[in-house]
Amino acid sequence: MGSSQSNINNNIKTEITAERLWMMESAKKGVQAIGWTLISPFVVIACPIIGAYEFGSRLQEELLTGSYVIDGTLGFLFGVVASPLAPFFVMWQSMEALFGSPPPLRPSVEYMDHARQVIGLDTDKYYNVAIVGSPGTGKSTLLNGLLGYKDNHEKAAQVCESNHNNNDNNRRDHIKPRGYNHPILRTLMVWDMPSVVIHHGMRTKHYFHKHFLGAFDALLIVSAERLMATDIKLARKAIEFGVPVFFIRNKADAVNLAYYSIIYSLYYP
């Protein structure tokens, strides 16, 4: 029993907060920006050489003047003229690569058909909204509240106790997504998704595609105590597919209660 529990602990990644993710990514982008800046002088030196090579190594029918020597000289002069602007071009390209946003992807017909076959996602009859988040954030309770059901209602989503048990989290990771039709808004289907439990060798994008989140009309990302790195990564992946994202802070009353309990104990020991 202890051995299996240890194996599970080793297979679960240590969760990273959104704040730590931001610090790590900012440091990485800073190093990359410094790297691009350091190579700028080499770009200035290389421009005339590259220009001479590009102009002078063309095929005979592609030469501007018909002479390799003259074309090479023209390329060299063009490189000399363009070299002062080259660092700005390199910097612009690096900034686009580091901070630019690519156009949103559109799920293919095969992707949508696969989502219909595997999890029963019907995009023709319903607006589909997925509720995702880390274990213990109260996703199922939130879903029941949106549907107008109490947790003990016969049509309510099953609520799992939040005990941070790795065995439970590992099992819940394999639960199949389930859709619940809203009792009043009949064209709205709200989906209870498996908890986001990232193992070694498994990335957030694997969870995203495994549950076909790119085919949904919207994502509700639920957090409780802290916003996690997995929440941010899921949101970014959804934005890549043009899926609207809404962040929900759950259990705020419990956080406030704990905060005031600490304050009370300090002043009234």
* Two structure tokens written together for 128: 């589909």
Whether 4 maps to a domain, the answer reads no
CATH of the domain at 231: 3.40.50.300
Phi/psi for 122 (5° steps) reads: -105, 105
The residue segments making up the domain with residue 228 are: 109-257
Residues 6+ apart with CB under 8 A from 221: 132, 133, 231, 234, 235, 245, 246, 247, 248
For residue 127, what pLDDT is reported? 96
For residue 202, what pLDDT is reported? 59
For residue 73, what pLDDT is reported? 73
Whether 28 maps to a domain, the answer reads yes
Q: Are residues 215 and 93 in the same domain?
A: no
**Res. 7: pLDDT tops 50:** no
What is the mean predicted confidence (pLDDT) over 204-229? Answer: 90
Whether 1 maps to a domain, the answer reads no
What is the mean predicted confidence (pLDDT) over 58-73? Answer: 62
**Res. 262: pLDDT tops 50:** yes
